[in-house]
């Protein structure tokens, strides 16, 4: 791992600085071209009026020179020709303004180009370059724990650098070693439940963090492999009154007048696990129910019956069909209802008539109730179910 990570780090550093060199050269070339174009523009704009002035002066000198030669010719001729030539010379001289010249700018008004290049840029670049990049012996966060969930994995991570102050975490996952990593979570929590995972299949995870007030992410943690052996929770398909998602882990109470309990496809809830329902609410009814049961009873319209524990949407808790005095808050949109169970007694029949007792904890909206559920048979696994009288309810189970 040390040699492999060192080789990879060298490759990353070399590639990064080679990219920087290419980018810096490109930027410097672009800046040089821009400055050269500025020189060309100033030169062309400044020299144009001077060129025009020079042309006017040269034209005046040439005209005066021609007139001078014509005057000399008039003087040198015979008397008859002199009069005619002098007359022509005089007329031409009157029409030519030899005493008029264009205004020539003074020397101080003529542009004199120069380049100002401040050496402080090199100092700034030097200071920035010498501070650019760091090499860390280990990432500031590492994966800590994988907890198997039905059809998913609860991934936990922790900060291992005491001096690092995290602002956000970023968790990535990939199926197998050949697939690319993809983001599954970005946020401030230190755990995340990754769902929609196939049982008995290895997934690789890695996590990184972003320091407080920083834009760049830290190096990735060492990739670790996790898997789940638990099949995903699924609702039973085909019950009139409920529509299911493609993965059958979300149930929607539709507009059908038919009512009844929607059960899980199989008894996939085991003691020691946490069963979670997350819902979108519709119109409540006192016969609504979310809970677990020993077996399916298709003739019932609620889990408020024998061999079942449930919570109604108004927060009432029922055990074997009897309402408890303790009550939880009403179910709200986006909130979660969780069921946790553990075996507390397994043996001969007790005075209560049961020989199997489960300690049940139901939590909703940061409150919970705890009670013992007495059964007359040993249950290694349980069904879960729900029932709603009115449309609009939607329940995700995991």
Domain map (residue ranges) of the chain = 1-131, 141-228, 242-397
Instruction: Give CATH for domain 242-397.
Output: 2.60.120.920
Token look-up 């024998």 returns 306
pLDDT at res. 188: 94
Position 79 scores a pLDDT of 63
Mean of the pLDDT values across residues 315-328?
Answer: 94
At 9, the pLDDT band (50, 70, 90 cuts) reads: confident
In this prediction, residues 340-358 reach a mean pLDDT of 70
Q: Tell me what pLDDT residue 178 has.
A: 82
DSSP 322-374: EEEEEEPPPP-TT-EEEEEEEEEEESS--TTS-SEEEEEEEEETTEEEEEEEE
The region of weakest confidence among 9-23, 77-91, 133-147, 175-189 is 77-91
Would you place residue 123 in the very low, low, confident or very high pLDDT band (cuts 50, 70, 90)?
A: confident
Which one has a higher pLDDT value, 195 or 309? 309
The residue with greater pLDDT, 136 or 369, is 369
Same fold, 141-228 and 242-397: no
Of residues 146 and 107, more confidently modeled: 146
- Token pair listed for 230: 């638990």
pLDDT the model gives residue 351 = 46
CATH topology assigned to domain 141-228:
Immunoglobulin-like (2.60.40)
Lowest mean pLDDT among 20-24, 131-135, 189-193, 318-322: 131-135
61 vs 264, which has greater pLDDT?
264
Counting residues of the chain whose pLDDT is more than 70, the rounded percentage is: 93
pLDDT of residue 263: 96
Categorize the per-residue pLDDT at 17 as very low, low, confident or very high, splitting at 50, 70 and 90.
very high
Give the Cα separation of 293 and 306 in Å (integer). 9
Q: How far is CA 128 from CA 123, 125, 131, 185, in A?
A: 9, 5, 5, 33
- Judged against a pLDDT cut of 70, whether residue 218 lies above it is answered with yes
**Mean pLDDT score, 49-59:** 79
How much is the average pLDDT of 11-32? 93
Asked whether the predicted pLDDT for residue 275 surpasses 90, the reply is yes
Q: What is the pTM of this model?
A: 0.59
Report the pLDDT value the prediction gives residue 52, as an integer from 0 to 100: 77
pLDDT exceeds cutoff 80 at 62: yes
Q: Is the pLDDT at 148 greater than 80, yes or no?
A: yes
DSSP category for residue 272: T
Q: Span 225-251, mean pLDDT?
A: 92
Six token digits for residue 271:
């003691």
Q: Residue 382: name the closest of 303, 308, 276 by CA.
A: 308
- Average pLDDT over all residues of the chain: 87
Quote the pLDDT of residue 155.
Answer: 97
Q: What is the pLDDT of residue 59?
A: 79
């Amino acid at each position: 791992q040390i040699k492999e990570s060192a080789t990879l780090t060298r490759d990353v550093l070399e590639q990064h600085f080679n990219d920087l060199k290419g980018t810096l050269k490109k930027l410097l070339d672009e800046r040089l071209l821009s400055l050269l174009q500025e020189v060309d523009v100033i030169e062309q704009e400044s020299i144009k009026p001077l060129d025009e002035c020079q042309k006017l002066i040269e034209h005046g000198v040439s005209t005066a020179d021609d007139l001078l030669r014509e005057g000399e010719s008039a003087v040198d001729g015979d008397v008859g020709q002199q009069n005619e030539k002098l007359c022509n010379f005089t007329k031409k001289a009157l029409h030519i303004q030899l005493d008029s010249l264009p205004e020539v700018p003074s020397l101080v008004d003529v542009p004199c180009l120069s380049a100002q290049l401040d050496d402080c840029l090199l100092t700034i670049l030097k200071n920035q370059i010498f501070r650019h990049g760091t090499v860390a012996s280990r990432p500031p966060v590492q994966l800590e724990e994988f907890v198997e969930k039905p059809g998913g994995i609860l991934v936990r991570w922790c900060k291992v650098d005491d001096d690092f102050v995290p602002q956000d975490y970023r968790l990535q996952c990939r199926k197998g070693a050949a697939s690319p990593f993809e983001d599954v979570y970005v946020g401030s929590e230190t755990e995340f439940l990754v769902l929609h995972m196939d049982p008995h299949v290895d997934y690789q995870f890695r996590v990184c963090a972003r320091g407080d007030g920083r834009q760049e992410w830290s190096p990735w943690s060492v990739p670790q492999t996790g898997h789940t052996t638990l099949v995903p929770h699924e609702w039973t398909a085909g019950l009139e009154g409920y529509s299911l998602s493609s993965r059958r882990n979300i149930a929607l109470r539709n507009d059908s007048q038919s009512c009844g309990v929607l059960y899980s496809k199989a008894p996939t809830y085991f003691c020691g696990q946490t069963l979670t329902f997350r819902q979108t609410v519709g119109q409540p009814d006192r016969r609504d129910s979310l809970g677990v049961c020993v077996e399916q009873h298709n003739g019932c319209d609620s889990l408020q019956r024998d061999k079942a524990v449930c919570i109604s949407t108004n927060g009432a808790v029922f055990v074997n069909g009897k309402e408890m005095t303790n009550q939880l808050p009403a179910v709200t949109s986006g909130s979660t209802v969780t069921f946790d169970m553990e075996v507390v007694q397994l043996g001969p029949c007790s005075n209560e008539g049961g020989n199997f007792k489960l300690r049940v904890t139901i939590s909703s909206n940061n409150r919970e109730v705890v009670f013992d559920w007495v059964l007359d048979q040993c249950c290694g696994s349980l069904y879960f179910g729900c029932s709603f009288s009115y449309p609009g309810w939607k329940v995700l189970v995991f």
